[in-house]
Structure 1
Amino acid sequence: MLHERGLPKYFWAEAVNTACYIVNRVTVRSILSKTLYELWKGRKPNISYLRVFGYNCFVLNNGKDNLGKFDPKADEAIFLGYSLTSKAYRVYNTRTMLVEESIHVQFDESNKEAHPPEQIISDPSQMIRTRSSLQNEVNHSAFISQIEPKSFEEAENDNFWILAMQEELDQFKRNDVWELVPRPKDHSIIDTKWVFRNKLNNSGTIIRNKARLVAKDFTQIEGIDFEETFASVASLEAIRLLLSFACLKVFKLFQMNVKSAFLNGFIVEEVYVEQPPGFIDSCFPDHIFKLKKALYGLKQAPRAWYERLSTFFVDDNFVKGQVDTT
C-alpha cells in the first residue's frame, strides 16, 4: 500500500490499521457467507464511505479556533484510514504535518481512482453520512528524535539516530561509494566521524533526523591525499540575470536539490578511510574502505562533484555563461 501510493515508511502503522479495518468488513467466511464484522456485530456493515488509501483529499477547517478571515478554509491532506473510536476519517495534513481525525473531509471528486465504484459494494452514488466530530491529533515528531547528539556515543543509544545512520550507509551502498579492502602499510588512513542534524520545515518543526558520515579533512596531506581543491559558488549577478530573463520571457523556474550530491563525484586520488564508528565489519574489523567517490569532508569533494555535474551539462549541449563560468 505504501509503495503503490509513494508514501514514506513511517506511515506503515496507518497502512496496517487500514488493511485490518477493510478486511474485517469485506472478507467473507465461505462457510457462513458472512463478513467478520457481521459475525461480531450481528448486522451487515455499511462500507459506502470507504476510500482508497493514500489518495489526496482536503480537510476542512470548520470550527477550528483562531481561523482568520483570510486563512484557508481547507488544507490539503492524504487519506490514511478510519477512526477506531468514531465515524471520522484519519488524514495527514500536509500543512501542519499532523495526523488528524475529522468528519470534515472532502475527497478529490475529479480523480475517479480515488473512489472507484467497483470498490464500493453499496450504491456508489450514496453520499457520505454525517459523522460525529473528532479532532484528535497525533504529532509525527513522536517518531523522530528531538535531540541533536554531539557525538556517536550520545547517538548510539537512540534508535532513531541509529536508523538515520543506517540510511546514510544504505545511500553509500546504492552509490557504490567505497569498497572494503585490507589495510595498506604505506598509505595514510583518514578517520571518519558522524555529524547529526535535525532537519526543519518552514515552520520550524523537526521533520527528519539526518546523520552524515564525514571525513576528517585536517588529516589530509596536499599532494598525497588530494591535488587541488575547488568550491563552486554562484555569483549574485548570475542569479539576478537569470531571474530577470525568466520574468521577461514569462518562463517557469525550477529548483533541483541533489540528495547527497558529493557522493556522486568520482575521485582520482587513492584515498582510504576508517570504517565508520558503530558499524565495524565483524568479519573484517581491521579492514578499511577505499573510496571510489567523494566523501563529505574531503578537500577534493566539491571539485569532484562539480566536474561530474559540469560534464553532464556540457555533454547535454549546455553552454557555460559569460557572467558566471561555473
Structure 2
Amino acid sequence: MVRSMLKGKNMPKKFWAEAVQCAVYVQNRCPHAKLGEKTPQEIWSGMKPSVSHLRVFGSVAYGQVPRQHMTKLEDRSKKYIFIGYDEKSKAYKLFDPDNKKVVVSRDVHVEETKQWCWSNSAEVETSSDIVVPSTTTTTEFSDEESEPQQPKMRSLQEIYDTTSEVHVVCLLADTEDLSFKKVVQDEKWRTTMDEEFGAIRSWNPRPANEGEIKVYD
C-alpha cells in the first residue's frame, strides 16, 4: 500500500515515513472481515469514524496563509503537497516545496487529480486509469461522529483469534496524544479512574495507639 501511494503521485522515497503513517491512519478506518466488518478505530473507541475528510496522498493542496504572515498584496493561499493527517489535532499535514518545511492546517483545498512534478518544481495533471474527482470545496475536519456504542466484553482468546498482526501494528501506531484534561471529559475513562481510586482507598490507617505490626520473612 505504501509503495502504491508513493508511485501513484511520483512522490520521492524520502516521504516513505509519511506514507506509512498515512496508510496506517486509513487502514484504521477501513472495515475488516475479522472484526465483523467494523474498523479498528471503531473497536478501539466505540465510535464509527468519519471518512469524509480522507484525501489522496501526494496531491497538490492549497492552504490558507495565516493573517500574521500575509500582506494586502499577497495571495491568501499557498500551494503545498498533502502528506497526511496531524496526530494531535483534526488537521492536515502539508509539505511546502519552496522552503522544505511541513505545516499543519485545517482550512485546506485539495486537488486530488494533480500532483507535484519534482523535476521542474511544478504541478501536473495525474495520468491514471482510475479517475478521482478533485475536491471542489474547501474542506475542514468534521467533528460529527456517531453515538458511542457499549463495547462488548471479549475473552483474551477471542481477541487473539480476531486480531491480525497488521491491525495490532495499526492500533499501536495510530494513537492520540491525550492530555489529562481531555481524558477526564470521557465518561468511560472517569468511571475507570474512580474504580482505581476506590481500590487504592480499600485500606484503613492503623490508629497510632495500637502500636506497630511486625512483618517477618
Give me the TM-score of the superposition, normalised by structure 1.
0.34
Larger Rg: 1 or 2?
1
- Identify the structure with bigger relative contact order (alpha carbons < 8 Å, sequence gap 6+): 2
